Structure 1
């Protein structure tokens, strides 16, 4: 796990909770498996820029806010 992946995942979790969206619902809206979303939030995977942008769009935050 890289520090960047961990920091990104923590920010995703922060904004997801602020929006009161479940991990399962966010995963569904992003068209990914819930367990994969959990791995993203824990910083266990490197995701594509496209998927990171999708997450930002669904969370209604500027993409740059997800970058540490």
Structure 2
């Protein structure tokens, strides 16, 4: 699975800390998602999409 969370976050001019606070997770979780070391749950994926103004399918894709 690949994702474009980092690119979407940077486009919204959010820091990792700010995004983490918006979706109620740690900064380390955001780092792990952005580096493809962690696949978020459906709930977290939906929260990320909402916070970043994207659709889930625009943020995450199967290889």
Structure 1 length normalisation: TM-score? 0.83
For 1:1-40, list aligned pairs within 5 A: 4=1, 7-8=2-3, 11-40=4-33
**Residues of 2 paired with 1:57 and 1:34: CA distance?**
18
Q: How many residues of Structure 1 are paired with residues of Structure 2 in the alignment?
A: 61
Could you list the structure 1 runs, at least 4 aligned residues long, displaced by more than 4 angstroms after superposition.
none
Out of 50, 57, 62, the residue aligned to residue 64 of structure 1 is 57
Gaps of 5+ in 2: none
SS in 2 for 1:43: coil
Residue matched to 2:44: 51
In terms of fraction of residues, the more helix-rich structure is 1
Gaps of 5+ in 1: none
Structure 2 length normalisation: TM-score? 0.89
Computed over aligned residues only, the root mean square deviation of the Cα atoms, in angstroms, reads 0.9
In terms of fraction of residues, the more strand-rich structure is 2
